[in-house]
Each structure stands twice: as structure tokens, then as C-alpha cells.
Structure 1
């Protein structure tokens, strides 16, 4: 009898909560969608307008989509139900995701931030639905929102070390459920979740030093990331969640310690947590779009330039031990012997893709696409897949004796960003302008849109970069004039050629810019690009000029096999591909040869990215 009564009570409570949320939705008028003060030069395609075709990007996306679609709802909702005092069936997820008395940072991170990635999993599924139109995926998103709604309570954040960190992801998941999966309750649930977390947030964005100066239960309470909140708060406001989200976004902009000095050209990155501060640059960009204040664009642009020019490995990755280093210190080179935690890969790649997408849209500058491409082929495309128990690939390793390995804890942060970035591959590949389409990434894909009232598509077929070519076929309902702008990478050699319908395109190629092809197109027209991929050696930092990585076009090549083998500069520069289209490369060192591989081709073998050469 008690069980029946409790079940009846819980059903009634959930129904009442749903009714209150829906009533509040009507009261706050969520239908109003705010417009940006700034309209970027380029716009983003809808998720549904880009389809990945057979290749690594599609394989990763499909694997992550299937993985999270299959995750048990009860397990995902369990920590929230437990804190709300509701029945919580299902097995514990474990690792960072589940409440645990074992949590003892930094020695034992079990139970670190329960439920922290729920919003990211929700976001990844909502985006996957937008990409695929899969009804089971939409149903799962809406089912999770319904299941989460009655658990929302401030009790969840009592003695919780990172309230801002987790709420930011919850916010992202709910606004994506609303925007991409047409969830009718998501914004109402978000407003309830915002009410629940606000008493546990500080009055402004805090630096980690400021957090450390405050009383805290343990060191984990000094790691919260309030300065990343504005990006998704601005997006919530723009998607119709209410005016208070614009006000909250402004409240958590970290102006004095971060955006103001960055806007003035001062590099304040050294010593800061790497991923979260790159992610915060996305908040600066959303502030620029929403307010029109050029300071925030300068901050995002300068901050990213500091990352790209002073903090990056040859792979495009950055932040050894998740920390930015002081330029001129030689610490990037020293990290090759000191750590195996070189680049926080799914998280870092996700943040990297976001900020480069934003900056590319605002500026039309192709170098942001070049940077995105380098990270794509040399980091995230080589990530090991998620395992059923939450075992997750976290760090790319650039140590002198490196290997691919999984993170020691289950369900860490990178398990949340992995499905988000793979869902974003399509929208990162093409951009729109009033004049036509910009081709940013050379991956197998199809983009479809309306151009001047004409249904238009580009189909890209390629094995790039293993084969340095790509082809794009135009399909239009009728003859149509528009621009197809091709990213010509900064590294592109003088032998790079472009043909249209077999005829050489009569234009001087300028590496490091988009090349516009403006003409009348008919169905079946074909653009073909053959890239001249030069071989280059890139030093780890100015203090270690003879510690170099070998690059072929956008590809970093990793030595495998005998890691004690030495090669001269000339021998490295003489690298050749094992066979056309192969991911294996050969360096002849005299008596023997050194086998080089691309990062996605590396499995369980030891490898080395950097080589010591004579001056």
C-alpha cells in the first residue's frame, strides 16, 4: 500500500511540476527570439543541410550517435533523482558521474561531479537528431527532458564542487533540445534549473585565484568555471528563454582579468587552465554578437592568436597538463619529457572548433579553417572510441615515448564533448554568404541549400588528405549564378591546381585565403582541386629550435617502431608515402628506415611526434 501511495504521489508531483513549468513558459513568453546586434560576414548552415558521406567523420559521428542513443535513461537520470529524493532505478554510471563517498580530490576523483555531462549528452543527441531526423533520437531527447524536469531542485547543488560548470552543460543541453529537437518543455525546465542553481553561484565570474581565496571544503571547490557561462546564457536569451539570460550573461563576463587585457593585446593565458579559457573565448564572441562591442571580438581574436602562435604543438593541440605556458620559457619543449597529458583532446578540439567557427564567420579569414583542419586530422580523428563502461579517450600524448591511452576515470568531461564535436563536423565544413557557399573542410559530404530561389547542392568526394585531392559536383534545379569559395590553405605549395569541368581555373592561387569561383552553374559541373602538399619541419618552441615535428601539408607524421632511431633534417624532409592513399610514410635513415604514421592510423604502438636534429 505504501508503494502504491508513493507512486501515485510521485506521478501527481511530476504532473504538477510539469503544469507549473508549462504555465511559467506561457507567463515568460518564450516565443520571442532575440536578434544579434551583429550579423557576421558568413552564416552557419543548419545541421540538416549538411550530410557526411563515407569517411572518418561519418564513422565517428555514427559511433557516438549509436552509443548515446543506447545509454539507459534511468542511468543518466539517476544522480538527479537521488538528490531529489525520487525513486532512482538503474545501475550507477560510476566514475565522475555518480555520487560517491570515495571522492577525495585529487587522490580519488570517483564521484567528482555527478551528472555533469548529462547536458552534453542531451546536446549531442539533439544535434544528432537535427543531422539525421532520427525519430528514436528525438523521442529520447524529449523523454530525458521529461525525466529530468521533476528532479530539478536546489538540493542537487548542496556541497557540489562545480555548480557553474555543470549548469553550463545543463543549459546547453536544454537549449539544444529546444532548438534542434523541438522539445516543448525544454525552456521551461531551463528556467526552473536556473532558479535552482543561482543561490549557489557567485556574484560574478571568479578567477581560480579568487576561488582559492574563498573558504572551500576541498580543492575541487576552487576549480569551478563561472567564466564560461556567458556563451550559453547568451544563446538561451537569443533562443527565447527570457531577458534574464542576457543579464546573467553580462554578469559573468570576465572582463577585468581576461577580456579587457586580451582586447588590449596582452597575453594573460600563461598559468591558466587551457580548455576552459579557450572555451571562454566563445563567451567573448557571443558577447560581441549580442552587444556589438568590438572589444569582445578583439579579445576572442587576440586570445586565439596567442593560443595558435605561442601555445600550440605541431598537431594544433595545446595546453600540456591542461595549462598554458609562458612564451619564451621553453616549457612547451620541456613538456615532451615531463608529461603524457599533452592535449585534452575531445574537449580541446570541441572548444577549438567553436571559436574558429565563430571567428571565421566574423572575419572570413581562412587561417581559422587552416587551424581547424590541423586539429581535425592530427587530434580528434585519432581519438579512441568510447567504451560501454564510460572509459574515455582524454589526452593526446606527445611525450618522447608516447602511446594512446584511456583516462583512468570513467565518464570524464571528454565523454561529453566527443558526441558534440562529431555532430558539429558538418556545420564546420561549409559556410554561407549572400553570394554563395564557402568550402572550409575537405571531407566527404553533401551540402544542400536554397541559393537565389534555386535548390542547390554540392557533393564532395575525397580521400583527402591521404590523397591530396578533392572534387565537388554542383547540382541545381536550373542554371544559377553564385560563388563557390574554396579555402586555399596557407601551407599550399605552388603546384596546387584547380579545374572546373576539366579546364584550368584561370586565377592566381593565394595560399591563406578563400578563392572565389563566380560563375553560372549547371547540374553536373565539377570542381577539382589538386593540392601541392609541401614537407616542413616545425620546431616545438624558439628555445628548442632543433626539436622538430615533420609535417606534410596539414598532416603531422609520427614516428613508430624503433623510437631511438635518428634522422637528419634532410632525411626527414625526404619522407615519402608508402603508397598513394596510405597513412604510412617512410623516412630513409641510411641503414634502416623509419616508419611514420598519421595520428588516426596509430593503434597501440609507441610513437614519437618530435625529433632531435642537428643545427
Structure 2
């Protein structure tokens, strides 16, 4: 295999192990989800081949090779070990742990500046899987520190990260990173995968808060509802526009993960532990909790309505704790109503409302989650901010000037110059005094006397297609 030869000897090459990881992951899914024995046989054969190749490399050679993007091959091999119990697979996976990245993270050192973003996140997912299979604390520390640093210090309001595919600055330095080729969708997808792991270790609402933010703004917003095409970059620079792949001529990395992106809507709504069930996301769905013989139906049009209804179906009374996330963004006035009766108990924003009781068939819980407008400022520029409503990033519609089909379909990112963007002048503590909902239009707002020179219409980013936009605004007093 010529590309493998080249990467092992340090010659110029693209990323053979990145491509192979996709194949491994698909084969393992075919076995674990569909019971395809042939897929498992092929995956194990590929693992034997990987071991034969890498056995020829000493540790220094191996680590040098890992300087080239290799996807989540350590994660895939660990998943293969989880299926087979073969310790040789666990040892092989460890050889694919890139120490130059994982060791500093385990020591709580942020050395991410200058690194290619989507090369690193899969490595950390592999570390998370290592912790789950071995219990080694270094992997736990690397994964949790990395997640904390990226989400707090290197993420945009829409939940994604990267500018020109890299982290180009020190932590909390985002003002220079509002680029036209920012917020790569592969990165958002892999951050969601990592977040799932961390929530299972420590079921804090903050993980689900991030997941919701990134899902609704960084994933849902990146598929064109007219044709199903997906995005590569998501410009955070104001005055640009969304661009999408074509079916035949733009098979990007973000096309591969793009196909996985839009399967994420159902995979993290519910979790369970020994004591009960977590409801983390407000998405219309039905859960068949087979182990307990319970079915939960969630009825909602969230986020277009700020509530959700949970209906319990069970053949016999069952005692368990229902743990409903109360998001960090929830405004005063939230409430829970059980079988038509308001509950005295609610929960503080950024936690779970825990209702432990004996549940009976037909029990119905209604949760009201009022939203409010608020700013999310850049950490190093308080005069530049995004506007949010609940978990939703609001984008300003700047019209479709100079937009043609050839600019929107095919390119990885926008071309040409940005259009002029209004500045916003209003009371930063009372956004509802100058941002008003448009009567008769769901989740549509307009500034009133605040735009300089013109007022703007604001809609959720996931609803905005076919026009130029702004997410970040220059604020004036």
C-alpha cells in the first residue's frame, strides 16, 4: 500500500490512516448494529494487517507517523477490542495514541495553538474510549481538560470551533478568529461525539447544554433543506453566506461526517442509569426502554414552542427517577405540571429536575421552558457579541446581494468581499427594549431603532438559507 509506505517513512502524503479509520468504523458498526459477521471478519483482518505494518516501527517512528492526520483509528481499534476481548487489539490501539497531544492534555496544559483542529478531536475521543475500557486516569484527564478548554476558550456561539481548520491563537483569543472559513462542521460533529462520552461519566447538565447548542446551531443549520446538501465551513465572519456541496463534484471530509451529522438528532435525547432516565433534549420522539418495559413519548415542537410533554406508557406501575434537564438558558417562569397539577418543585437553570416516584400508565409531565434574549460576547472583545434566544443563535438577514448558484453550490466556503453590516446600538442589559418579536412570525425578531444605519431582521441560524448573514455584531452604546 503505497500511501502507508509513504506515511511511515515521512514522505509527503495525504492521510491514509484517516481514510482507513472510516472503513474500520463502518465495518464495526455493521457488526455491532446489524450483526454482520462478515464485517467483523474483515475488520479483524484489517487489524492484523495494521499490526503487521506497525510492528516494524519503533516507538519514535510510530509517534512521528502520528503527526499526520489519522482520524480516530485508536478509537476504532478499542471498539474492536470491546467486541472481541482480544488484548492484542488494546495494545495496538495504544500504539496509535499520539503522545505529543495527549500527554500535555493529561497534564492540563493547553498546547493547542497552531494545531489542525479535526486531527486532534478524534485522538481525544480515542482517549475517552481508553478510559472507559481501562480506567486509566490519564485518559480521563486528557479528555475532560480538552473538552473544557475547547468549549470555554475556543468555541463560537454556534457551538463549533476552528478557523481555517486550525486553532490559531492562545485560549480565549477569539476576536481575530471570526473568519469566512471557520467553524468546520467535522469539528462540531466530533465534539458532539466526545460530549456523549463525558456525559456518561458525569451526567451534568452542562454537557447536554453544549450538545443542544451545537446540535441546533452547528449541525441543523448546515444542511440545505431544499436539496439535502451539506456545508464544509460555517462562516463566523459577518456579511458572508452559506455554501454547500454538490452530489457529484465536492466529496469533502465534511461530506463524510456530514452524512453522520444528521443522524445525531436522535442519539442523545435520553440516557439512563441505575436510578432512572435522563431527558436531555427536547425533540419529538418515542423511547422504548426495553430493560424496564417502559415507553416514553415526547411530544413537542421545540424550539418553536418553549415546552415539552412527556407521556409514560407502562404495563404495570414502575418506580424510577425521571430526570429532565432544565437548561442554563431558561428564563424565570419555568414550571412543571404533572397530570394537570403544577408541581411546587422546579430546578435551577443548568441542572436536572428529578422526579422520583411510582409512575403509572398515562402519567403526563408538561415542562415549560421560557426563553429570553441575551448576548454572548467574545472573551477578548466585549463590544462584539452574538445574540441568542434560549439555545438558538439569531442571525441577521443581510439580503442576497451578488449571490448566484455557482457561488453557493460547490465551493467549500464563500468568495468575494463581505457586504456592509449594521452596527447595533441599544441597552445591553435590556435587549427586549430594542429587539422585538415580529407579530405572526415564529422565532422572528427585528431591531427597533438600534441598527446603524439600518435595522435588521433576526431569525434562528438554522432557518436562514440563500442570503448573507451576520451572527456577530459590533455593539455601540
TM exceeding 0.5:
yes
Residue 19 (structure 1) aligns with: none
Distance 1:366 1:372, change over 3 A: same
Task: State which of 73, 78, 97 in structure 2 corresponds to 1:234.
Answer: 78
Contact 1:273 1:324 in 2 (8 A): yes
Residue 189 (structure 2) aligns with: 350
Task: State which of 83, 86, 108 in structure 2 corresponds to 1:265.
Answer: 108
Query: 1:601 aligned to 2:463?
Result: yes
Superposed displacement of residue 532, structure 1: 2.4
Residue 309 (structure 2) aligns with: 471
Greater CA radius of gyration, 1 or 2? 1
Superposed displacement of residue 205, structure 1: 8.9
Distance 1:247 1:500, change over 3 A: same
Q: Which runs of 4+ in 1 moved over 6 A?
A: 205-208
Measure the CA separation in 1 of the matches of 2:441 and 2:226: 29
Listed one character per residue, the Cα deviations across residues 497-549 of structure 1 (whole Å, up to 9, x for unaligned) are 1111122222241211122111111122111111122221111232x110111
Query: 1:529 aligned to 2:367?
Result: yes
Measure the CA separation in 2 of the matches of 1:511 and 1:421: 28
Moved more, 244-253 or 561-570: 561-570
Task: State which of 502, 505, 513 in structure 1 corresponds to 2:343.
Answer: 505
Distance 1:450 1:275, change over 3 A: same
Task: State which of 334, 355, 358 in structure 2 corresponds to 1:496.
Answer: 334
Measure the CA separation in 2 of the matches of 1:207 and 1:412: 27
Task: State which of 312, 316, 320 in structure 2 corresponds to 1:482.
Answer: 320
Distance 1:391 1:385, change over 3 A: closer
Residue 224 (structure 1) aligns with: 69
Structure 1: runs of 5 or more not aligned: 1-153, 213-221
Listed one character per residue, the Cα deviations across residues 64-112 of structure 1 (whole Å, up to 9, x for unaligned) are xxxxxxxxxxxxxxxxxxxxxxxxxxxxxxxxxxxxxxxxxxxxxxxxx
Measure the CA separation in 2 of the matches of 1:524 and 1:517: 16
Superposed displacement of residue 386, structure 1: 9.8
Structure 2: runs of 5 or more not aligned: 7-12, 400-419
Task: State which of 425, 439, 462 in structure 2 corresponds to 1:568.
Answer: 425
Contact 1:360 1:368 in 2 (8 A): yes
Residue 40 (structure 2) aligns with: 187
Contact 1:284 1:300 in 2 (8 A): yes
How many residue pairs get aligned? The number is 442
Distance 1:585 1:205, change over 3 A: farther
Listed one character per residue, the Cα deviations across residues 219-258 of structure 1 (whole Å, up to 9, x for unaligned) are xxx74326x3211111011012733211111111223x22
Distance 1:482 1:530, change over 3 A: same
Superposed displacement of residue 204, structure 1: 5.2
Measure the CA separation in 2 of the matches of 1:329 and 1:550: 19
Contact 2:238 2:421 in 1 (8 A): no
Superposed displacement of residue 465, structure 1: 1.6
Superposed displacement of residue 428, structure 1: 1.0
Distance 1:196 1:581, change over 3 A: farther
Counterpart secondary structure, 2:262: helix
Distance 1:357 1:578, change over 3 A: same
Counterpart secondary structure, 1:593: coil
Query: 1:164 aligned to 2:24?
Result: no
Measure the CA separation in 2 of the matches of 1:206 and 1:416: 29
Counterpart secondary structure, 2:290: strand
Looking at both structures, which has the greater relative contact order when contacts are Cα pairs under 8 Å and sequence separation is at least 6?
1
Distance 1:369 1:207, change over 3 A: farther
Q: TM-score, normalised by structure 1?
A: 0.67
Measure the CA separation in 2 of the matches of 1:472 and 1:328: 40
Counterpart secondary structure, 1:189: helix
Superposed displacement of residue 459, structure 1: 0.8
Moved more, 258-267 or 378-387: 378-387
Superposed displacement of residue 315, structure 1: 0.9
Task: State which of 213, 216, 221 in structure 2 corresponds to 1:377.
Answer: 216
Task: State which of 361, 369, 376 in structure 1 corresponds to 2:200.
Answer: 361
Moved more, 259-268 or 192-201: 192-201
Q: TM-score, normalised by structure 2?
A: 0.85
Distance 1:329 1:525, change over 3 A: closer
Contact 1:561 1:605 in 2 (8 A): yes
Task: State which of 449, 458, 473 in structure 2 corresponds to 1:589.
Answer: 449
Superposed displacement of residue 282, structure 1: 0.9
Q: Which has the higher helix share?
A: 1
Measure the CA separation in 2 of the matches of 1:266 and 1:184: 43
Distance 1:605 1:358, change over 3 A: same
Counterpart secondary structure, 1:567: strand
Superposed displacement of residue 568, structure 1: 1.6
Counterpart secondary structure, 2:357: strand
Superposed displacement of residue 436, structure 1: 1.6
Residue 384 (structure 2) aligns with: 547
Contact 2:398 2:470 in 1 (8 A): no
Distance 1:322 1:200, change over 3 A: farther
Give me the CA root mean square deviation. 2.7
Residue 402 (structure 2) aligns with: none
Counterpart secondary structure, 2:240: coil
Superposed displacement of residue 200, structure 1: 5.5
Counterpart secondary structure, 1:320: coil
Distance 1:281 1:581, change over 3 A: farther
